[in-house]
Structure 1
């Protein structure tokens, strides 16, 4: 069961990562302005926020499996829509619908995984889930860039759409629902229940960590492909470069280093990861040499590896089974908000790639200082 959930997580993130190196150039090819490109890149995540919050309520009410299947089918349909857009406005609409669908399936998958995790090895379990995201981060950008170059951008969407459709069928056949009517009767849907999850100090740190991680990824998705294109390199190289951080993260997750997630406080791991990401973005903004760019992505991979399992484990640690869907819905809403804010800021400012990357580094450093201040002053215990 757990291993099948890991496979689902790989697939759930594949559509997002496969578009990282192609969506900004695709929007540019349709005639989108700098600001509109930022909106198009960020629209998926903006809509994703709504999907996450809705999914959080539905997962705890109707069960994990139903929402997961609905999300997979809906995303499969939306991916086909990309192949038929001819204007930036149409692309913006498809991104909106795609984001809503994606917002349903990811919280459901992680709520399932959280239900099957053990307290003593929860950090390691979420490290493996991070490895799944890392696998998507490796396969996705390289796949999107290479298929675009060889077969055309439409085939990226056709292939992944078919993959989501097949996965939905397998989920219906293989995955057993761990939800019961008794649990539904215990679950209350009110504003106070949601505010409770927004007020818990450990969860606030998890939300900040998720927001900061995806803010930088949103900036990378926008700025790095444009930086590589301006240097005369092919879009395929952009995909390979963005995939490299996933390799580093996976090694960190699957090697004995994954034991650190159950030995070191989660918030400390988040701060260390944020500092690595800050350094990565500074290097990306200052240098053009390919070798140095790969070093920067190596640092980004370490930062990703430190942050992702730690913040997801925090969510599981501080939510019970009857509110876990809602907790992950809020968590991934902050994930999505990060991408929206990151891509929108650099798009609205119309900054060159190097300046945009440096802005991302500055924001990440500020957020790391906020988390550190919260640990010392506010505290993180219940």
Structure 2
């Protein structure tokens, strides 16, 4: 199981390490602002397609082969970034990279679920969330440091090597679980699990979380500028929520995901997210932003394990891959929608955060009413 957490860290570092460098890299190739936006968006779009297809293939062929092949292929594609010479080539490689990487996480979580069909699913998912949180903290810093000191090509070399090695090691360490003929011909055909209200709740909740993540990524630099703070503070604020979430994941507090109703935890997490986003919009000082990001970290820590635990508990080994595929497609769709919504709202961080908080609050209340009925 420890290896699976390492695999998740490497897989998400692949994405997070490029966040601070991909836009400048595209601009250095002569990309216009619109093309730079396309370079960023095409990864999330193709990643979403890969998520859905991964879930189908995982249930049909098993997690091991999908995980190993997608890690290795994504690693090879990262290496080819070093041969890009114009924006068109960059968009193409970003599309294929995002598509290949989209197979990794649903397969990884399906493998984790199949190895942990127990009453500790919540604790397992919280540890998985900690792995993602670690990648979210060290990935952007790693990308910025390596590209600034050694050149961006060495960032691609490093990430490519790590992904290929982990993919090869996964062939040895991940156990293959045989799929019975019955599971392939009957239970594996449809998407009947989508009718489960708890799973629907999970998909909407994780979409809302990543919608706010997209808004946050867009609007936090604007908020820092509005308050005449140093731009370096943006990274520090993001680290605050990451550290809070990781502590919540690894400390005994992670037991709540196995002891309390997941729907209530989701609703509570969404309320924390709504309050934190509203707080960011109303903040007039650095300390207020810190407090808001602490609330955001708590909300994130409540939402990720509770939603993913619901997927694990309400699916079986024959359809869990598809369920997680749609789950992570909701991730990608949320990020894309958040960035798009923020762009429509303009350059006022206060307006962006206020609208975002209202969306989460109203959606949460509607979800609660539907759940009660």
TM (norm. structure 2) is 0.89
Cα distance between partner residues in 2 of 1:309 and 1:4:
19
Counterpart pick for 1:238 among 234, 238, 244: 234
Is residue 63 from structure 1 mapped to residue 62 from structure 2 by the alignment? yes
Distance 2:140 2:354 in 1: 22
Contact 1:183/1:322 (8 A) holds in 2: no
Change (3 A) 1:287 1:159: farther
Is the 1:42–1:341 Cα contact (8 Å) retained in structure 2? Answer: no
What is the RMSD of the two structures over their aligned residues, measured on CA atoms? 2.6
**Where do 1:156-305 residues align within 5 Å?**
156-182=155-181, 185-187=184-186, 190=189, 193-194=190-191, 196-225=192-221, 228=224, 233-234=230-231, 237-287=233-283, 289-305=285-301
CA contact (8 A) 1:142 1:243 kept: no
CA distance in 2, matches of 1:360, 1:164: 35
Q: For 1:78-117, what aligned pairs fall within 5 Å after superposition?
A: 78-85=77-84, 88-117=87-116
Do the aligned partners of 1:53 and 1:326 also contact (CA within 8 Å) in 2?
yes
Distance 1:188 1:375, change over 3 A: closer
Find the aligned partners of 1:134 and 1:189 in 2 and give their Cα distance. 32
Residues matched between the structures, number: 371
Distance 1:93 1:277, change over 3 A: farther
Provide, for residues 274-304 of structure 1, a one-character-per-residue CA deviation record: whole Å limited to 9, x for no partner.
1212222223334364433333222211111
Task: Say whether the 8 Å CA contact 2:188–2:319 is kept in structure 1.
Answer: no
Residues 243, 122 of structure 1: alpha-carbon distance in 2 compared, 3 angstrom cutoff: same
> Alpha-carbon deviation of 1:265?
0.8
Question: More deviation in 172-181 or 307-316?
Answer: 172-181
C-alpha distance in structure 2 between counterparts of 1:327 and 1:198, whole Å:
8
**8 A contact 1:137–1:245 mirrored in 2:** no
Say if 1:227 and 1:71 are closer, same or farther in 2 by CA, change over 3 A. farther
Separation in 1, partners of 2:291, 2:266: 21
Give 1:118 deviation, angstroms. Answer: 3.8
Return closer, same or farther for 1:355/1:314 CA change in 2, 3 Å cut-off: same
Q: Structure 2: any 5+ residue segments left out of the alignment?
A: none
Q: 1:254 to 1:59 in 2, by over 3 A?
A: same
Paired position in structure 1 for 2:305: 309
Contact 1:52 1:107 in 2 (8 A): yes
- Give CA deviations for 1:45-68 in whole Å, capped at 9, x if unaligned: 221121011111110111101100
Per-residue CA distance 1:289-340 (angstroms, 9 max, x = gap): 4433333222211111000000001101111111111111111111111111
1:14 corresponds to: 13
Q: Which runs of 5+ in 1 are unaligned?
A: 378-382
Whether the 8 Å CA contact 1:47–1:100 is kept in 2: the answer is: yes
Aligned to 2:45: 46
Looking at structure 2, the residues matched to 84 and 354 of structure 1 have their Cα atoms a distance apart, in angstroms, of 41
Q: Is residue 328 of structure 1 aligned with residue 328 of structure 2?
A: no
Query: Quick one: distance in 1 between partners of 2:344 and 2:290?
Result: 28
